[in-house]
């Protein structure tokens, strides 16, 4: 059942105008041997009613377990206006704003977004979004190599405290251009980058250092010292940050004595639902001096023929539709709709609201750690300051414990045994402002129950 | 309609807020050296102010829901409302990407079936849904081609051939994959210049990237021959699926001889463009590229769905996103494909081609010049305004801007660059004849104006929220973020 | 008609070369090239000290709709790029043969300059391209 408006009369008239006998005749330039007789493998058409019923059933099968995972995607309250406005047809069904006069709404939203992201990260300029946080970091690494002309090694330091999936993604996307990625270890007690390991790198040419704050474990890195170390040896610094945390934590633009060079991250916490992993959006901000090395679209404010202010895409000579093989990136379609949602979210929360969200997340995670570590066999893996995630250690494999929790309607966290086997039986868990004290108690009680039934190691 | 809306920061007042959106205040301890000293400068507005502001901004846009949008290469068809509402069922929205598979069987079943349906319509052997837009699908494809040659120890293959009419993402992608780009010309009739192709093929050829129907709006008739030649030279064929709408249910890229393809689900399968994104660039491959697919992919083990990852596909090109790509977009495409069903797929190709050929015939009859007069239009076609530019001094850009005054979004201009002063027009299958006729009437009045009052075109648009913008100033005096007192 | 000063040398890719009394040269893009590009919005000039081969892309000029490489007409060492272009790219549109020059070079060999087109040859080249 397609959305075709044509009546038989329309088809007849149109074919007559074209001078063709049948619709099939319009495909006469396609070699006949290529045409398929029948399409197999596609089920028959359904009406909206049948599809709706089927999808409701599938959604119901998944249910709504109580969620305690973060690891790069965070459950937050999303104000009702965010998606009510974002899904308006005028936003939802518009194309990329290449025709500026017909797209002032989209363009102004992007300009406001750029302003907000620059403010939040303490940087000077922002692009109009990338696909997501992980691929955005790959773009940031490629950008650093372009921006840092004096560095010849294309060597990027990626600490083991950076989200391991981000690292895989960076290797897949930026590795094809000959970038080298070097590990930095962390301190077992604190879950933070081992500053003493930096000495071993003395003398090596380094293009950029990647710093995630809060890091993958939720711990807070000593960013000032790390940024100064990198800058003293002529390397650039790429910050990977959680936007919610920036309402409380020092923005990357102020780390060390002169701030980082590029800041990027996952924009999902700003009003985007978890939705199985996407669509989210990546943000990327930088210093004015590097603006021409940025990937992705950028909007500028200018004036029209009559001198009135208006908005347009600018610096397009960086992009694939003009620079082709020499573009700063191949990105074309980005994540505009999610960026719009984030802009509305930030307007509704404002500086106070976002700070309260960040503080509530931190507080709840503290309560969660306290509650769960009261359960015998569970203890915190690290000491020191953290934001809204924590690693807990258990006395037995985490996988079966998580399955036991899932059976009780709780998604308890992420098993780190594959990505960080050195931590033993480790669980990364998170509570945001959406988790109540009762939720947390319920998790702790259920965990105790599950541990009683799952074998200790 | 002359509206402007202040920048949201101008509405901001210290101490104002959307109070009901804030959680209760909490006390937290952060080491002094890690604390933010100044709150970020975000707007401070009430909920109504924000709602009104963004609603008004939305009203400054053209969109499919409000305007005919014949934007060539972009397939701006109707985005069914139900695809959105079902992808946004609360359970789907709430699902964490790393939640156990046992709590996601409903979602995963949709993804698994979507992979199967995409294999069926393209004639490919396996599909990965992870690429987040066409360009990332291209990246995945070229990276798989690279991995394939490397796995065979064929290390010298570092050239990707692209026709000069190719979309900019094709050469940009080849570069991102560390490949060298070799451009080849197209012939007078719009087909690839086979002699030039033969000259470009050699032991360094990794592959070729083609769109079919091509970006010139015509079907590449010698595709089987081209495929044979590229394969004989040891290269692989990449299909840019941006124009899949033209052949859906009629012809399959797999049968043409392609080894890898990306689909723009935000074109052919009608997920929204959202003012710039998100999209989805799912990739399909022939048997020989299957081991290299980007992960994760959905698999099925006796009735249960699960993610296949690096352990299942050890030769994978790896991960392209933090999780699994644009899941919500994929759900919309899934719903759309189930509604269309087997019959509906073919109708997409048939009626989009009918609409394009009808528009072409009528525009030609009123005096517009097709770029490839001897060829059948596919689902889109090009007209060239070279004559008007030469004789009346009006450009394709002027025509495009004047169309906005008539309430029609402009066709694609200056792409492909190869055709001077071109408009690439794609009506799509969901437009009714009356809408096409209205567009034709507007195009007729533009031709009139071009000869009688060319200033009407050169000064256009006149009725949009702003007039033509000074993009030279925008690039010279960069104003990219709001400042309390912007530089004059 | 675009200007082609008689005292300069030219390339087929529309660069010009002016020989200065001290043996160094000034290099820029021609009036024809700037007109074809339209209003320039950004110019990337080479850094002093860099050695370039003849035909190397050594600068980039950007308009709103295009970005083009500028090729070194001769081999040599860059003495300095024209830093004024950083804030005023429009100098190339206004005075392509004057304040809008792109860089000063120390030529590798004087003979190479003699091999470039003279004004008459360049004018003929423009006519053949039209
Ligand atoms: C022919 C062609 N190829 C590739 C692309 C790139 O797709 P995307 O914008 O989804 O990255 C497009 C879209 O604009 C296109 O028209």
Residue A329 lies in a domain: yes
Please, which residues bridge with residue B263 across strands?
Answer: B241
In a domain, B246, yes or no: yes
Q: How many C-beta neighbours within 10 Å does residue A224 have?
A: 15
B228 touches chain A (CB under 8 A): no
Residues of C in contact with A288 (CB under 8 A): none
Minimum-distance CB partner of A356 among B22, B89, B174: B22
- Select from A423, A193, A313, A350 the least CA-distant residue to B12: A350
Distance of CA A54 from the midpoint of ligand 1 (Å): 32
- Cβ contact B186:B193 at 8 Å: yes
pLDDT in tens, B23-41: 999 999 999 999 999 999 9
Interface of C with B in 9-68 (CB under 8 A): 39, 41-42, 62, 64-65
Q: Does residue B4 surpass a pLDDT of 90?
A: no
What pLDDT does residue A2 have?
Answer: 84
Question: Which of B75, B134, B140 has most ligand 1 atoms within 8 Å of CB, for mutation?
Answer: B134
* A260 and A354 in a common domain: no
Residue A155 sits in a domain of what CATH number? 3.40.640.10
Last residue of a domain, one of B311, B340, B369: B340
Are A298 and A316 found together in one domain? yes
Q: Are residues B194 and B252 in the same domain?
A: yes
- Rounded distance from Cα A121 to ligand 1 centre (Å): 31
Domains of chain B: total: 3
Residues of B in contact with C89 (CB under 8 A): 476
Same domain, B252 and B103: yes
pLDDT of residue A457: 54
pLDDT over 80 at B93, yes or no: yes
Same domain, A341 and A359: no
Which of A345, A371, A403 is the last residue in one of the domains? A345
In a domain, B302, yes or no: yes
Distance between CA atoms of B9 and B404, rounded to whole angstroms?
Answer: 29
Q: Is the pLDDT of residue B274 over 70?
A: yes
Nearest 5°: CA angle at A48, between A42 and A49? 115
Domain assignment present for residue B415? The answer is yes
d(CA A181, CA A184): 10
Range of the domain at B440: 347-474
Residues A340 and A385 in one domain: no
How confident is the model at residue C110, as a pLDDT? 82
Nearest CA, atom 10, ligand 1: B134
Which residues in chain A come in under a pLDDT of 70?
1, 456-457
Task: Say which residue the tokens 């977004």 belong to.
Answer: A113
Tokens found for residue C50: 């860099």
Examine residue A217 and state whether it is found in any structural domain, yes or no: yes
Total domain count, chain A:
2
Lowest mean pLDDT among B235-249, B318-332, C48-62: C48-62
Mean pLDDT of B446-450: 97
Q: What is the pTM of this model?
A: 0.97
A355 in a structural domain: yes
pLDDT in tens, A366-377: 999 999 999 999
Q: Look at residue B175 and tell me if it is in a domain.
A: yes
Pocket of ligand 1 (CB under 6 A): A 332-333; B 73, 133-135, 167, 169, 211, 215, 240, 242, 264, 279, 281
Do B328 and B268 share a structural domain?
A: yes
Residue at B75 is within a domain: no
pLDDT of the residue at B486: 47
* Shortest CA distance from A273: residue in chain B: B93
Where are the domains positioned within chain C?
Answer: 13-115
Strands B369-370 and B304-308: unpaired
Q: Among A312, A345, A378, which residue terminates a domain? A: A345
Q: In this structure, what token pair is assigned to residue C27?
A: 């290099």
- List CB contacts (< 8 A) between B275 and chain A: 91-92, 94-97, 103, 105-106, 109, 336-337, 340
Q: Cα–Cα distance between A132 and A86 in angstroms, integer?
A: 18
CA A404 to chain centre: 29
| Contact call for residues B285 and B316 (beta carbons, < 8 A) | no
ipTM, two decimals, is: 0.97
Domain boundary residue, one of A322, A345, A368: A345
Same domain, yes or no, for A173 and A100?
Answer: yes
Residue B294 has pLDDT above 80, yes or no: yes
Separation of CA B255 from chain center: 24
> Is the domain of B123 the same as that of B248?
yes
User: What residues make up the domain containing A403?
Assistant: 66-77+350-453
Q: Evaluate whether residue B426 is within a structural domain.
A: yes
CB contact under 8 A, C67 and A322: yes
Instruction: List the CATH number of the domain containing A379.
Output: 3.90.1150.10
Task: Name the C residues in 16-45 with CB < 8 Å from any A CB.
Answer: 41-42
CA distance C99 to C94: 8
Contacts of residue A213, Cβ cutoff 8 Å, sequence gap at least 6: A220, A221, A223, A239, A240, A241, A242, A245, A249, A252
pLDDT band at B485 (very low <50, low <70, confident <90, very high): low
Judge whether B3 lies within some domain.
no
Asked whether residue A292 is domain-assigned, the answer is: yes
Among candidate residues B313, B340, B367, the one where a domain is terminated:
B340
B99 and B30 in one domain? Answer: no
- Output the six-digit token pair for A440: 């947390």
Chain B residues with CB under 8 Å of A440 CB are none
Bridge partners of residue B384, in order along the sequence: B369, B422
What backbone torsions phi and psi does residue A271 show, to the nearest 5 degrees? 90, 10
Give the percent of chain B with pLDDT over 90.
97
Domain CATH for B186? 3.40.640.10
Q: How many CA atoms lie within 13 A of A223 on its CB side?
A: 33
Let me know: does B341 contact A45? Beta carbons within 8 Å: yes
Does residue A160 lie within any of the structural domains?
yes
Check whether residue B121 and residue B184 sit in a common domain: yes
| Nearby residues of B391 by Cβ (< 8 Å), 6 or more positions away | none
- Which of B340, B369, B404 is a domain's end point? B340
Helix (H, G, I), strand (E, B) or coil at A258: coil
Instruction: Tell me the fold of C13-115.
Output: OB fold (Dihydrolipoamide Acetyltransferase, E2P) (2.40.50)
Q: Do A92 and B63 touch (CB under 8 A)?
A: yes
Domain co-membership, A312 together with A416: no
Pair (B432, B301) in one structural domain: no
Give the C-alpha separation, A121 to A284, whole Å: 9
DSSP3 helix / strand / coil % (chain B, rounded to 5) = 40, 15, 45
Tokens of A215: 């890091």
User: What distance separates the 2 farthest-apart alpha carbons in chain B?
Assistant: 75
Burial class of B487 by CB neighbour count within 10 A (0 to 12, 13 to 18, 19+): exposed
The β-bridge partners of C70 are: C59
């Amino acid at each position: 059942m397609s959305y075709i408006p044509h009546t038989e009369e329309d088809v007849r008239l149109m074919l007559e105008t074209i001078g063709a006998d049948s619709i099939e005749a319009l495909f006469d330039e396609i070699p006949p041997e290529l045409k398929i007789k029948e399409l197999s493998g596609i089920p028959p058409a359904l009406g909206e009613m049948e599809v709706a019923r089927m999808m409701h059933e599938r959604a119901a099968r998944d249910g709504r377990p109580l969620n305690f995972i973060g690891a790069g995607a965070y459950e937050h309250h999303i104000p009702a206006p965010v998606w009510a406005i974002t899904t308006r047809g005028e936003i939802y069904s518009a194309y990329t704003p290449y025709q500026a006069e017909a797209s002032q709404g989209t363009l102004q939203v992007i300009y406001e977004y750029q302003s907000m992201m620059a403010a939040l990260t303490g940087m000077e300029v922002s692009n109009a979004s990338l696909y997501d946080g992980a691929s955005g970091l790959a773009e940031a690494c490629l950008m650093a190599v372009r921006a840092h002309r004096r560095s010849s090694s294309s060597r990027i330091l990626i600490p083991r405290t950076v989200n391991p999936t981000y690292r895989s993604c960076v290797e897949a996307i930026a590795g094809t251009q000959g970038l080298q990625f070097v590990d930095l270890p962390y301190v077992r007690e604190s879950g933070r980058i081992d500053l003493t390991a930096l000495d071993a790198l003395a003398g090596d040419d380094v293009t950029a250092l990647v710093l995630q704050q809060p890091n993958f474990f939720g711990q807070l890195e000593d960013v000032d010292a790390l940024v100064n170390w990198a800058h003293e040896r002529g390397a650039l610094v790429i910050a990977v940050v959680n936007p919610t945390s920036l309402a409380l934590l020092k923005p990357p633009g102020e780390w060390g004595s002169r701030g980082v060079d590029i800041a990027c991250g996952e924009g999902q916490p700003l009003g985007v639902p978890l939705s199985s992993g996407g669509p989210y959006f990546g943000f990327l901000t930088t210093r004015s001096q590097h603006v021409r090395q940025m990937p992705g679209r950028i909007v500028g404010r200018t004036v029209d023929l009559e001198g009135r202010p208006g908005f347009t895409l600018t610096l397009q000579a960086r992009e694939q539709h003009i620079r082709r093989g020499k573009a700063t990136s191949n990105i074309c379609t980005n994540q505009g709709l999610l960026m719009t949602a984030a802009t509305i979210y930030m307007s509704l929360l404002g500086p106070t609201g976002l700070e309260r969200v960040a503080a509530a997340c931190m507080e709840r995670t503290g309560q969660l750690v306290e509650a769960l570590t009261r359960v015998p066999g569970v203890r915190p893996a690290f000491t020191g300051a953290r934001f809204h995630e924590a690693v807990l250690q258990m006395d037995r494999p985490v996988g079966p414990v998580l399955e036991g929790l899932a059976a009780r309607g709780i998604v308890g966290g992420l098993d780190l045994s594959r990505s960080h086997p050195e931590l033993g039986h480790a669980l990364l868990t998170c509570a945001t402002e959406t988790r109540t004290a009762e939720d947390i108690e319920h998790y702790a009680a259920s965990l105790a129950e599950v541990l009683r039934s799952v074998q200790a190691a | 309609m002359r509206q402007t809306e202040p920048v949201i920061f101008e509405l901001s007042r210290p101490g104002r807020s959307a109070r009901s959106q804030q959680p209760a205040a909490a006390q937290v301890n952060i080491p002094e050296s890690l604390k933010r000293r100044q709150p970020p400068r975000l707007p401070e507005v009430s909920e109504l102010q924000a709602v009104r502001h963004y609603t008004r901004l939305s009203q400054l846009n053209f969109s499919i829901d409000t305007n005919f949008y014949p934007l060539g290469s972009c397939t701006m068809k109707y985005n069914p409302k139900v695809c959105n509402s079902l992808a946004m069922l609360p359970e789907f929205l709430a699902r964490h990407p790393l939640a156990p598979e046992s709590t996601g069987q409903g979602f995963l079943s949709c993804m698994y079936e979507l992979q199967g349906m995409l294999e069926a319509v393209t004639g490919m052997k396996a599909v990965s849904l992870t690429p987040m837009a066409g360009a990332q699908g291209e990246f995945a494809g070229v990276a798989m081609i690279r991995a394939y040659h490397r796995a065979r120890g064929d290390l010298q293959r570092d050239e990707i051939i692209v026709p000069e009419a190719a979309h900019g993402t094709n050469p940009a992608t080849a570069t991102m994959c560390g490949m060298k780009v070799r451009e080849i010309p197209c012939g007078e009739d719009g087909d690839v210049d086979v002699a030039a192709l033969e000259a470009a093929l050699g032991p360094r050829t990794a592959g070729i990237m083609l769109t079919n129907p091509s970006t010139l709006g015509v079907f590449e008739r010698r595709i089987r021959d081209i495929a044979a030649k590229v394969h004989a030279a040891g290269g692989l064929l990449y299909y840019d699926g941006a124009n899949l709408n033209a052949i859906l249910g009629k012809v399959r890229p797999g049968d043409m001889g392609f080894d890898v393809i990306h689909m723009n689900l935000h074109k052919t399968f009608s997920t929204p463009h959202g003012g710039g994104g998100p999209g989805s660039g799912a990739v399909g491959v022939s048997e020989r590229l299957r081991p290299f697919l980007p992960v994760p992919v959905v698999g099925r083990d006796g009735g249960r769905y699960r993610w296949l990852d690096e352990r299942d596909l050890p030769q994978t090109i790896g991960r392209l996103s933090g999780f699994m790509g644009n899941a919500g977009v994929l759900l919309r495409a899934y719903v759309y494909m189930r509604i269309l069903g087997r019959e509906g797929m073919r109708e997409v190709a048939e009626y989009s081609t009918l609409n394009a050929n009808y528009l072409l015939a009528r525009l030609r009859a009123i005096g517009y010049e097709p770029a490839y007069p001897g060829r059948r239009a596919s689902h889109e076609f090009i007209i060239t305004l070279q004559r008007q530019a030469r004789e009346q001094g009006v450009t394709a850009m002027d025509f495009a801007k004047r169309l906005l005054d008539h309430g029609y979004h402009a066709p694609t201009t200056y792409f492909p660059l190869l055709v001077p002063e071109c408009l690439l027009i794609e009506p799509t299958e969901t437009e009714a004849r009356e809408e096409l006729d209205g567009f034709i009437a507007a195009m007729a009045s533009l031709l009139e104006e071009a000869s009688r009052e060319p200033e009407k075109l050169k000064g256009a648009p006149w009725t949009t929220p702003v007039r033509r913008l000074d993009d030279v100033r925008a690039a010279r005096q960069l104003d990219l973020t709001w400042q309390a007192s912007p530089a004059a | 008609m675009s200007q082609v000063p008689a005292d300069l040398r030219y390339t087929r890719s529309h660069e010009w070369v002016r020989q200065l009394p001290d043996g160094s040269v000034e290099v820029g893009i021609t009036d024809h090239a700037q007109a074809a590009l339209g209003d320039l919005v950004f110019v990337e000039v080479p850094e002093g000290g860099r050695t370039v081969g003849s035909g190397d892309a050594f600068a980039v000029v950007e308009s709103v709709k295009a970005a083009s490489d500028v090729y070194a007409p001769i081999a040599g060492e860059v003495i300095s790029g024209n830093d004024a272009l950083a804030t005023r790219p429009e100098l190339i549109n206004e005075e392509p043969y004057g304040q809008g020059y792109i860089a000063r070079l120390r030529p590798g060999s004087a003979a190479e300059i003699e091999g470039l087109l003279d004004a008459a040859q360049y004018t003929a080249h423009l006519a053949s391209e039209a």
